[in-house]
Amino acid sequence: MKNLPSRTTIGIIGAGGMARYHIAGFRAAGAEIAAMADTNLAAAEKTAARENIARAFASPGEMLRACPEINAVSIIVPNKFHAPLALAALKAGRHVFCEKPPALNAREARAMAAAAGKAGCTLMFDFNNRARPESRAMKTYVDQGAAGRINSAQAKWIRRTGIPGFGGWFTNKALSGGGPVIDLLHMLDLALHFMGYPEPEWALAQTFSDFITDRQFKGPWGIPDAKTGVTDVENACHGFIRFKTGQVLTMQSSWAELIAREEVSVTFQGTKAGGLVRRLFGQDGIDATATDTCELYSQENGLAVNRAIVVPPDETMGRVGAAANFVAAIEGREKPLNTPAEAVTLMRIIDAVYASAKTGKPAKC
């Protein structure tokens, strides 16, 4: 890896809601934020003023040309622009921290991984749920062998009324890549992280779109309803993935489904212990009232043993920690929390989930 800086200077691309967490994490890790770019210049200027960032630009290219001291960028824009903006930044020799999903599909993710390799730059994605205290704790136990071999896992991010607006980019497949399967991919990624990111073989999945235009199912966040615009993504998906190792994973993701409440969880069953990492949002749906659980289940001396692992709360859901890890990783102080190869595998699974849902048959990953 070339470019091992002693101090990281960052340019932020996109004044979206995640910008505040990226900025807090980068600064906590000692990085400087030199500039902010957004095609909506007023949005760039507003965030720059709020966050005390010296310069604002209307184009990411202009920012990189004007600020040679920037050696890393973070990308916080609608999904369709992740790959082209990451490719341009990598080509210009900058490290990249990109919001999830990595890209619209595996083809784009592969091109990004190849460009990072060619440039000798770090490419990481904001899989912030890996940086949650309970996820880090569980991963430590798994890596120490506490669970044995994880045979099976269930990845779930389900919402009852969580469609992020109608007719905006989230519900437009060409701009987003898909609905909750791609938007709420965090638990799929987290389950794979615990399982050791095995090589996927088959996906069998079904998507549902009964509620995708039903205003009753709009979430409290996202874009306001547009009068026009495309709404061509799923509102729920149930799927099953088989890996070449014989491991299996069940996934459920929804923006709109008739369930009791929102649930964000990974459960798994290993040869030595099972495990659960779960966030239950408060009934008001906000981070501050959420409860997190981290538990291991084993059978010892003829008895059922349930271990509750208590970790500090993190209202940011690992978002600040994930951004800080990016800076520490490019400065060689920490292992990156995720790799481009994992992002490609994740997108291959998502492509296969959509292919299976379309054909009604198992799809090769």
Ligand X SMILES: NC(=O)c1ccc[n+]([C@@H]2O[C@H](COP(=O)([O-])OP(=O)(O)OC[C@H]3O[C@@H](n4cnc5c(N)ncnc54)[C@H](O)[C@@H]3O)[C@@H](O)[C@H]2O)c1
Site for ligand X contains 128 (CB under 6 A): yes
| Contacts of 138 by beta carbon, 8 Å cutoff, 6+ apart | 194, 275, 277, 294, 309
Site for ligand X contains 76 (CB under 6 A): yes
Query: Is the CB of 12 or the CB of 147 nearer to ligand X?
Result: 12
| Contacts of 265 by beta carbon, 8 Å cutoff, 6+ apart | 154, 155, 156, 157, 187, 276, 277, 278, 279
Question: Residue of minimal CB distance from ligand X?
Answer: 16
**Cross-strand bridge partners of residue 207:** 237
**Cross-strand bridge partners of residue 280:** 291
Contact map string, positions 168 to 197, toward ligand X, x by CB under 6 A = -x----------------------------
Site for ligand X contains 125 (CB under 6 A): no
Nearest Cα neighbor of 138 from 153, 118, 121 is 153
Confirm if 150 and 195 have CB atoms less than 8 A apart: yes
Site for ligand X contains 279 (CB under 6 A): no
Cβ-based neighbour number of residue 84 at 10 Å: 16
Of 76-84, 116-124, 149-157, 236-244, the segment contacting ligand X by CB under 6 A is 76-84
Q: How far apart are CA 135 and CA 329, in angstroms?
A: 18
Query: Is the CB of 130 or the CB of 273 nearer to ligand X?
Result: 130
Query: Is the CB of 1 or the CB of 174 nearer to ligand X?
Result: 174
Q: How far apart are CA 51 and CA 26, in angstroms?
A: 12
Select from 39, 206, 250, 298 the one that contacts ligand X (CB under 6 A): 39
Site for ligand X contains 43 (CB under 6 A): yes
- Beta-strand relationship, 248-254 and 291-300: unpaired
Site for ligand X contains 157 (CB under 6 A): no
Of 38-46, 132-140, 144-152, 296-304, the segment contacting ligand X by CB under 6 A is 38-46
Q: Nearest 5°: phi and psi at 275?
A: -150, 160
Q: In the bound complex, what is the minimum distance in angstroms from residue 156's beta carbon to ligand X?
A: 16
Select from 8, 9, 79, 254 the one that contacts ligand X (CB under 6 A): 79
How many residues bind ligand X, per CB under 6 A? 23
Note the residues at the interface with ligand X (CB under 6 A).
Answer: 13-18, 37-40, 43, 60, 76-79, 81, 99-100, 126, 128, 169, 319
